[in-house]
Structure 1
Amino acid sequence: MGPVSTRQPNAGLGQLFRESGWTMRQFAQAVNRLGTEIGSPLKYQQASVHQWLSGHLPREAVRPLILEALARRLNRPVTREEAGFPAVSESSEQSTTVEQLIDLGRQDMDPSRRKILAAGMYLAALSVPAFSALAGVASAADRDRLTRPSGRIGSGEVETVRRMTDKIAEILDELGGGHARPMAAAFLVNTVAGYLHADASEKVHRDMLSAASDLTYLTGWMAMYERAHGLGQTYYLRALDLARESSDQLTYSRTLRGMSLQASHLRHGQKALEYADSAAEAAPQASPRLTAFLRGQQAHASAMVGDRRGAMQRLKEAESALSQADSRRDAVGGYDQAAFLFHLSHVHYETRDIENSIKALRRSIRVMSPLERQGRLHAHAVLAQRQHEIGHLEESCTSWERFLDDYEALSTARGDEHFDKLRALNAPRQSPVARRLQDRIHAVAKLKAA
Structure 2
Amino acid sequence: MSTTSRGPNERLGALLAQAQISNAGLARRVNDLGAQRGLTLRYDKTSVARWVSKGMVPQGPVPHLIATAIGGKLGRPVPLDEIGLGGTDPAPELGLAFPREVPDAVRSATDLWRVDLELRRGAGGGRWSDALAGTFSAAAYTTPVSRWLINPADSTVAREESAAVRPGGRGRVGQSDAAKLREAAQEARRWDSKYGGGDWRSSMVPECLRQEAAPLLLASYSDAVGRALFGATAELTRLAGWMAFDTGQHEAAQRYYIQALRLARAAADVPLGGYVLASMSLQACYRGFAEEAVDLAQAALERNRGLATNRTMSFFHLVEARAQAKAGNSAACGAALAAAEGALERSRAGDPDPAWIDFYAYDRLAADAAECFRDLGMPAKVRQFTQEALARPTEGFVRSHGLRLVVSAMAEAEAGNLDAAVEAGGRAVEVAGRISSQRSREYVLEMLRRLEPFQGEQRVRELTERARAVLTAPA
TM-score, normalization: structure 1? Answer: 0.77
Q: How big is the shift at 1:112?
A: 2.0
Cα deviation, 1:66-92, whole Å, max 9, x if unaligned, reads: 77678778877777789998778989x
| Equivalent of 2:425 in 389, 395, 400 | 400
Distance 1:446 1:79 in 2: 31
**Which stretch has the larger CA shift, 320-329 or 410-419?**
410-419
- What CA RMSD, in Å, does the superposition of the two structures yield over aligned residues? 4.5
Count of aligned pairs between the two proteins? 431
| Equivalent of 1:208 in 229, 232, 238 | 229
Residue aligning to 2:356: 332
Change in 2 beyond 3 A, CA 1:171/1:86: closer
* 8 Å contact kept, 1:377–1:406: yes
Alignment partner of 1:168 is 2:188? yes
Q: How does 1:274-423 map to 2 (within 5 A)?
A: 274-284=295-305, 285-327=307-349, 332-333=356-357, 334-407=359-432, 409-418=434-443
Alignment partner of 1:123 is 2:118? no
Task: Give the fraction of aligned pairs with identical amino acids, expressed as a percent.
Answer: 20
Change in 2 beyond 3 A, CA 1:369/1:350: same
Distance 1:84 1:439 in 2: 42
Distance 1:23 1:138 in 2: 49
Cα deviation, 1:88-146, whole Å, max 9, x if unaligned, reads: 8989x985322222322444466625546258235133332331235466887999479
Residue aligning to 1:253: 274
Q: Residue type matched to 1:163 in 2?
A: E
| Equivalent of 2:109 in 97, 102, 122 | 97
Distance 1:86 1:118 in 2: 17
Q: How big is the shift at 1:355?
A: 2.0
* 8 Å contact kept, 1:76–1:125: no
Distance 2:471 2:234 in 1: 39
Q: How big is the shift at 1:429?
A: 7.7
Change in 2 beyond 3 A, CA 1:261/1:157: same
| Equivalent of 2:206 in 185, 206, 227 | 185
Q: How does 1:225-240 map to 2 (within 5 A)?
A: 225-240=246-261
Change in 2 beyond 3 A, CA 1:142/1:271: farther
Change in 2 beyond 3 A, CA 1:115/1:162: closer
Q: How big is the shift at 1:60?
A: 8.6
Alignment partner of 1:133 is 2:146? no
Change in 2 beyond 3 A, CA 1:372/1:74: same
**Which stretch has the larger CA shift, 121-130 or 347-356?**
121-130
* 8 Å contact kept, 1:105–1:188: no
| Equivalent of 1:153 in 151, 173, 177 | 173
Residue aligning to 2:3: none
Larger radius of gyration: 1
TM-score, normalization: structure 2? Answer: 0.74
* 8 Å contact kept, 1:218–1:332: no
Change in 2 beyond 3 A, CA 1:232/1:43: same
Q: Residue type matched to 1:309 in 2?
A: A
Distance 1:162 1:244 in 2: 17
Q: How big is the shift at 1:347?
A: 1.9
* 8 Å contact kept, 1:31–1:65: no
Change in 2 beyond 3 A, CA 1:201/1:383: same
Q: How big is the shift at 1:150?
A: 1.3
Q: How big is the shift at 1:385?
A: 2.8
Q: How does 1:43-82 map to 2 (within 5 A)?
A: 59=57
Find the residue that maps to 1:367 and give its secondary structure. Answer: coil
**Which stretch has the larger CA shift, 56-65 or 156-165?**
56-65
Q: How big is the shift at 1:292?
A: 0.7
Q: How big is the shift at 1:222?
A: 1.8
Change in 2 beyond 3 A, CA 1:105/1:281: farther
Change in 2 beyond 3 A, CA 1:125/1:172: closer
Distance 1:302 1:317 in 2: 13
Q: How big is the shift at 1:157?
A: 1.1
* 8 Å contact kept, 2:31–2:42: yes
Residue aligning to 1:37: 33
In the alignment, structure 2 segments of 5+ residues that lack a partner are 1-6, 36-40, 95-103
| Equivalent of 2:220 in 196, 199, 202 | 199
**Which stretch has the larger CA shift, 57-66 or 302-311?**
57-66
